[in-house]
Amino acid sequence: MNAPSLDRRAFLATAGAFTLSFTVADARAQQTGAPSAPWAAYLSVGQDGKVLLLSPTTEMGQGTHTAHAAIIADEIGVPLSWVSVETALPSDPFRRNGAMGSGGSAGVRAWYAALRQVGANARASLIAAVAGKTGAPVGEVTLVDGRFMRAGQALPVTLGEAAALAAGQPPVQGVLRDPATFKYVGKATPRVDIPAKVRGEPIFSQDFTRPGMVYACAVLAPVYGGAADGFDDSATLAVKGVQQVVAIPGGAAVVATSQWAAMKGAAALKVRWKATPIDGLTSGAISAAMLAGLDKDAEAIVGKAEGDTAAALAGAAKVFEADYEVPYLCHAPMEPWSITVEPTADGGLEIWGPFQTQDRNRSTAAKTAGIDPSKVTLHTLMLGGGYGRRLGDDGTPGAVLVALAVKKPVKFFWRREDEIGQGWYRPAQVARLRAGIDASGKVVALHVRTAGPSMRHTFSPTGLPKGEIDGSSVQTLTDTRYRTGAYRVDWVRVDQAVPMAPWRAVGATQNGYFMEAFVDELARSLRKDPVALRRELLAHDPRALKVIDAAAKAGDWGKPLAAGRARGFAYVESYGSLCAQVVEVSLKDGAVTIHKATCVLDCAQVVTPDGARNQIEGGMIQGLSSGLFEGIEIAGGQATNRNFDGYRIMRINEAPHAVTTVFIENSEIIGGVGEPPVPPATPALVNALFALTGKPIRKLPIAATLAS
Where along the sequence are the contacts to other proteins (CB under 8 A)?
Answer: 60-63, 190-191, 193-204, 206-207, 209, 240, 258-261, 263, 332-336, 382-387, 415-416, 610-611, 614-615, 617-622, 625, 643-645, 649-653, 655-659
How far apart are CB 334 and ligand FES at their closest, in Å?
4
Please give the DSSP secondary-structure letter assigned to residue 207: G
Kindly determine how many residues on this chain lie close enough to bind ligand FES according to the rule CB under 6 A: 3
How far apart are CB 199 and other proteins at their closest, in Å?
5
Q: What is the footprint of ligand FES within residues 579-598 (CB under 6 A)?
A: none
Residue 234: CB atoms within 10 A of its CB come to 10
Distances 291 to 295, 450, 467, 494, 563 between C-alpha atoms, Å: 8, 9, 19, 9, 38
674 binds ligand FES (CB under 6 A): no
What x-and-dash track marks residues 31-60 binding ligand FES by CB under 6 A? Answer: ------------------------------
Which residues have CB under 8 Å from 624's CB, separation 6+?
583, 594, 597, 650, 655, 656, 681, 682, 685
61 binds ligand FES (CB under 6 A): yes
When the beta carbons of 46 and 623 are compared against ligand FES, the nearer one is 623
How far apart CA 92 and CA 96 sit, in angstroms, is: 8
How far apart are CB 250 and other proteins at their closest, in Å?
21
- Characterize 603-612 residue by residue with b for buried, 16 or more Cβ atoms within 10 angstroms of its Cβ, and e for exposed: bbbbbbbebb
When the beta carbons of 241 and 441 are compared against other proteins, the nearer one is 241
204 binds ligand FES (CB under 6 A): no
Consecutive H or E run containing 194: helix 194-198
Q: Peptide bond before 190: cis, by omega within 30 degrees of 0?
A: no
Q: In three state form, how does the secondary structure of 74-99 look?
A: HHHCCCHHHEEEEECCCCHHHCECCE
How far apart CA 500 and CA 587 sit, in angstroms, is: 33
How far apart are CB 235 and other proteins at their closest, in Å?
15
When the beta carbons of 61 and 499 are compared against ligand FES, the nearer one is 61
- Classify residue 125 as left (phi > 0), alpha (psi -120 to 50) or beta: alpha
Which of the choices other proteins, ligand FES, none does residue 645 contact, using the CB cut-off of 5 to 8 A by kind?
Answer: other proteins
When the beta carbons of 156 and 646 are compared against other proteins, the nearer one is 646
How far apart are CB 607 and ligand FES at their closest, in Å?
20
How far apart are CB 580 and other proteins at their closest, in Å?
19
Coil, strand or helix: which one is 520?
helix
Q: What is the footprint of ligand FES within residues 81-140 (CB under 6 A)?
A: none
Which residues have CB under 8 Å from 227's CB, separation 6+?
221, 249, 250, 251, 273, 274, 276
Query: Do the Cβ atoms of 399 and 412 come closer than 8 Å?
Result: yes
How far apart are CB 235 and ligand FES at their closest, in Å?
24
- Characterize 172-203 residue by residue with b for buried, 16 or more Cβ atoms within 10 angstroms of its Cβ, and e for exposed: bebeebeeeebebbbeebebbbeebeeeeeeb
When the beta carbons of 382 and 688 are compared against other proteins, the nearer one is 382
Q: What are the strands, taking DSSP E only, across 383-518?
A: 410-413, 429-437, 443-452, 486-493
Nearest residue to 355 (alpha-carbon basis) of 337, 332, 330: 337
How far apart are CB 404 and ligand FES at their closest, in Å?
30
Please give the DSSP secondary-structure letter assigned to residue 684: H
Nearest residue to 133 (alpha-carbon basis) of 169, 174, 175, 173: 169
Beta bridge partners, 383, equal none
385 binds ligand FES (CB under 6 A): yes
When the beta carbons of 520 and 654 are compared against ligand FES, the nearer one is 654
How far apart are CB 197 and ligand FES at their closest, in Å?
8
Q: What is the footprint of ligand FES within residues 296-335 (CB under 6 A)?
A: 334
Which of the choices other proteins, ligand FES, none does residue 199 contact, using the CB cut-off of 5 to 8 A by kind?
Answer: other proteins
Consecutive H or E run containing 554: helix 542-554
Which of the choices other proteins, ligand FES, none does residue 126 contact, using the CB cut-off of 5 to 8 A by kind?
Answer: none
When the beta carbons of 226 and 656 are compared against other proteins, the nearer one is 656
Which of the choices ligand FES, other proteins, none does residue 265 contact, using the CB cut-off of 5 to 8 A by kind?
Answer: none
Q: What is the footprint of ligand FES within residues 332-351 (CB under 6 A)?
A: 334
Q: Please identify the residue of the shown chain whose CB is closest to the bound ligand FES.
A: 334
How far apart CA 451 and CA 583 sit, in angstroms, is: 28
How far apart are CB 423 and other proteins at their closest, in Å?
13
When the beta carbons of 61 and 174 are compared against ligand FES, the nearer one is 61
Which of the choices other proteins, ligand FES, none does residue 429 contact, using the CB cut-off of 5 to 8 A by kind?
Answer: none
How far apart are CB 649 and ligand FES at their closest, in Å?
10
Q: Which residues bind to ligand FES, rule: CB under 6 A? A: 61, 334, 385
